[in-house]
Amino acid sequence: MSGNVYAPPNASVELATKACEECGESINKKAEICPKCGVRQKGGVSKTTLLLLTFFLGGLGAHKFYLRKPWWGVLYLVFFWTYVPGLVALIEFIIYACTDSERLNEKYESAGGGGTIVIVVAGLIGAIVVIGILAAIALPQYQEYTMRARTTQAVQSAEPLRTAVSQYIVKNGRLPEVATEVSEEVTTVPNVAAIRIEDHGVVRIEFLATAGALHGQTIDMVPSISDQHLSWSCAAGTVAARYRPTQCRN
């Protein structure tokens, strides 16, 4: 028989205990609170978890919540829209990646299970804030796009009246003094109360309440004669320039 049967095994057995950070009492390795002195033990830091949180949610401060630095996490959340927290988190990611796990555990402590809830809540808050900011930017842009589409449609629908006035001017060599000198039918246009000819050949478009911000507003298409040349301008009226087609802005 080879070897000593009474010799200790070659493989070392890892003890499932650790020393309390406060009193030095031997306690269970997974214990969060020392049963002797009642001091909460530092939570171990998972380098993988820390790197993932820093890389993907660092701009929202998720890694700070994980490292039990909630105020820093809140600060990251408040200023994430400036992109500065994201840049700082990228630098921190590189630092964490170059630091070994033992050193990370010496310097930091994790929030443990409760911290996961905090991280999730922080992520949700950050997502809500991001969605709110995007909505604040996108909704006005969408509203302006919708208004421009309506005014463009109305201006195009007024073309038969503009043509009728142009034909009158070519035939008579002058602008019509009163609206009754020119008559032309216009089909119903969505969101438009009326498209009519006013005195001096002005074609007026007036919008209905269904047109939203355009309710009661007008676009005037004004003809003018200069050196026997007829030209039109649709920059007059009360509709804001940002809602008008490009050709109808000052």
226 vs 91: which has the higher pLDDT: 91
Percent helix, percent strand, percent coil in the chain, to nearest 5: 50, 15, 35
CB 170 within 8 A of CB 223: no
In CATH terms, is domain 147-248 a member of 3.30.700.10? yes
The domains of the chain are located at 14-43, 147-248
pLDDT above 90 for 120:
no
Q: What pLDDT was estimated at residue 32? A: 63
Element (H, E) at 231: strand 229-237
pLDDT tens readout for residues 78-116: 888 788 998 999 999 999 999 988 888 878 877 655 455
Predicted confidence band at 12 (pLDDT cuts at 50, 70, 90)? Answer: very low
pLDDT digits (tens, 9 = 90+) for 161-181: 999 999 999 999 899 999 889
